[in-house]
Amino acid sequence: MYSVTNPATGELVEEIPNSTDEEVRAAIDRVHGGFAAWRARPVAERAAIVLRAAELFAERADELAAIMTLEMGKRINEGRGEVGVVVDIFRYYGERGPELLADEPLPIRGGEAVLTKEPIGALLGVMPWNFPAYQVARFVAPNLVLGNTILLKHASICPRSAMAIESVLRDAGVPPDAYVNVFASSRQVPWMLADPRLVGVSLTGSEQAGISVAAEAGRNLKKCVLELGGSDPLIVLDTDDLDETVKITATARMRNCGQSCNAPKRMIVLGELYDEFVDRLAKRVAEYYVPGDPADPATTLPPLASIAAAEEVAGQVSTAVREGAKLRAGGRRVPGPGAYLEATVLTDVAPGMAAYHEEIFGPVVLVFRAETEDEAVALANDTPFGLGASVFGTDRERALRVARRIEAGMVYLNKSGGSEADLPFGGIKRSGIGRELGALGIEEFMNKKPIRL
Ligand code: NDP
């Protein structure tokens, strides 16, 4: 069942039954059948449609943001901001796509060859609820320009976002057999992946979902791209403005109520700064983040996406405290029907404790103390994940040296997270496989086909 439940109030707003197996098979048939015509369109036409989609997303930003606020509790301004990034992604691929897909001369020793760049067919996208529009955009914009067709299974808590996105694409001119939304359940995904008419899959979500989809993709010899969880470190080497550093790090962690795969989740602060950093961070978190209605632009702390998510994160916090962590701010569920959890700061989390090794997908900051640069790097890398990382410091060369030693898919200097259309995004280790965005993002489901001349 797909359902809309307002996480700010707990009110069930709408239920939508899952697509039947027959409906899912018909949807697969459509995107498979639509591939030949879509890939045959000149790339300039596909790019123009993607550019038109960018315009429509911009026009409908308020409507989309309001849907996200209702479905998963995103602060209304953050929703508008998310749609802004979506617009930029569609613009980027609409504008740059034709150039990224142009043939490339391929110098070879024995003569001449050219590298051509072709689509591979109909793809499945399995997408999460945390950024209902942005996650879809990263997969859909490059692949539509490339000429692949798409079947999209969105998260079961955001069917209205799924429908609104499909409407934008349809109104922009994407043919009804080049992009199809389906209300499939995750139980239908394995046999969907076994269907030879789908040739690849991209999933953003949890490690468990990633394992399941990668296993089915492997069994069926299909390409998969996975964007999974993270426990990104943020190292503070030194600072000439501690308040500003504290503010930037708190803002980055609390964005989207802490439900971002690439939020900095573990702050690693060098010895002499540590005590002051923790005091100021705890104060900032306790005073600034006040639970409120996500539809009110003045709200600083919205609910999590669901009651289940809030319970789970609250459980992780109490386990950490039971295992010896110190609670420096927050830590409790907010009384009432909504999915609220106080913004929380934990210190003294040590190896062997669950919180040291797990991802915490909510408004919870962990702060660690490191005495040296080497210790900070070792702590940063001591995680099963490897999505992003940040290094803060006044000496650029030193920060860069530390950045190079971090095991992650991407590192930011003196800034944290965020996402830019032309900057590749993705992880290593248990954070995923493949890259999205930028020039690399359009290559994942591409047949890079040399023609020997
Ligand atoms: P899920 O991974 O369960 O959901 C993401 C998407 O995957 C949804 O469309 C979901 O469908 C689908 N899905 C779930 N299980 C399977 C499966 N076995 N086979 C195929 N598709 C599947 O995320 P949750 O909503 O449960 O969130 C739990 C955790 O996931 C978070 O705490 C966080 O760690 C991580 N997460 C990471 C995200 C990221 O940005 N990297 C985004 C969201 C979650 P359905 O909704 O129908 O179950």
Residue 368, SS3 per DSSP: strand
Q: Is residue 425 part of a domain?
A: no
- From the candidates 78, 82, 216, 227, give the one annotated as an active-site residue: 227
- From the candidates 257, 261, 342, 436, give the one annotated as an active-site residue: 261
pLDDT in tens, 129-172: 999 999 999 999 999 999 999 999 999 999 999 999 999 999 99
Joined tokens for residue 407:
């095991």
Which of the 8 DSSP states describes residue 17? P
What residues does ligand 1 touch, defined as CB less than 6 Å away?
Answer: 126-130, 153-156, 185-186, 189, 204-206, 209, 212-213, 227-229, 261, 359, 361
Q: Is residue 155 part of a domain?
A: yes
What is the pLDDT, as a whole number, of residue 417?
Answer: 76
Percent of the chain with pLDDT over 90: 99
List CB contacts of 87: < 8 A, sequence separation 6 or more. 54, 55, 57, 58, 61
- Number of independent structural domains in the chain: 2
Atom of ligand 1 nearest to the CA of 432: 41
Q: How far apart are CA 234 and CA 232, in angstroms?
A: 7
Q: How far apart are CA 72 and CA 156, in angstroms?
A: 11
What is the pLDDT, as a whole number, of residue 418?
Answer: 83
pLDDT in tens, 179-207: 999 999 999 999 999 999 999 999 999 99
Q: How far apart are CA 402 and CA 374, in angstroms?
A: 9
Residue 190, SS3 per DSSP: helix
Which of the 8 DSSP states describes residue 427? -
Residues 192 and 271 in one domain: no
Q: What average pLDDT does the segment 237-257 reach?
A: 97
Residues 126 and 108 in one domain: yes
Atom of ligand 1 nearest to the CA of 212: 18
Nearest CA to ligand 1 atom 6: 128
Residues 162 and 94 in one domain: yes
Distance 254 CA to ligand 1 centre (A): 20
Residues 171 and 88 in one domain: yes
Residue 158 annotated to the active site: no
Q: How far apart are CA 407 and CA 196, in angstroms?
A: 36
Residues 253 and 206 in one domain: no
Q: How far apart are CA 3 and CA 23, in angstroms?
A: 19
Nearest CA to ligand 1 atom 20: 186
Q: Is residue 246 part of a domain?
A: yes
> Pseudo-torsion of CA 206, 208, 212, 217, nearest 10°?
40
Q: Is residue 122 part of a domain?
A: yes
Which of the 8 DSSP states describes residue 256? G
Domain that holds residue 278: 232-413
In 289-381, which residue ranges form alpha helices assigned H by DSSP? 307-322, 354-357, 373-381
Residues 165 and 257 in one domain: no
Sign of CA dihedral 75, 311, 154, 211: positive
Q: Is residue 19 part of a domain?
A: yes
Distance 159 CA to ligand 1 centre (A): 14
Residues 241 and 339 in one domain: yes
List CB contacts of 42: < 8 A, sequence separation 6 or more. none
Residue 350, SS3 per DSSP: coil
* For the chain, counts of helices (H) and of strands (E): 15, 20
CATH code for the domain of 249: 3.40.309.10
Q: What average pLDDT does the segment 244-269 reach?
A: 97
Joined tokens for residue 383:
């995680």
Joined tokens for residue 418:
């965020």
Q: What is the ipTM of this complex?
A: 0.95
Residues 90 and 36 in one domain: yes
Q: Is residue 424 part of a domain?
A: no
Nearest CA to ligand 1 atom 44: 205
Nearest CA to ligand 1 atom 9: 155
pTM: 0.97
Nearest CA to ligand 1 atom 18: 209
Q: Is residue 406 part of a domain?
A: yes
Phi, psi dihedrals of residue 24, rounded to the nearest 5°:
-65, -45
Residues 210 and 122 in one domain: yes
**Residue among 123, 124, 112, 173 at smallest CA distance from 146:** 123
Distance 230 CA to ligand 1 centre (A): 13
Distance 126 CA to ligand 1 centre (A): 9
pLDDT in tens, 360-386: 999 999 999 999 999 999 999 999 999
Distance 268 CA to ligand 1 centre (A): 28
Q: What average pLDDT does the segment 50-79 reach?
A: 98
CATH code for the domain of 134: 3.40.605.10
Residues 87 and 29 in one domain: yes
Residues 126 and 239 in one domain: no
pLDDT in tens, 381-420: 999 999 999 999 999 999 999 999 999 999 999 998 789 9
Residue type, 381: N
How many residues does this entry show for the chain? 453
Residues 216 and 241 in one domain: no
Mutate to test the pocket of ligand 1, among 2, 19, 85, 186 (most ligand atoms within 8 A of CB): 186
Q: What average pLDDT does the segment 6-24 reach?
A: 98
Nearest CA to ligand 1 atom 29: 206
Q: Is residue 104 part of a domain?
A: yes
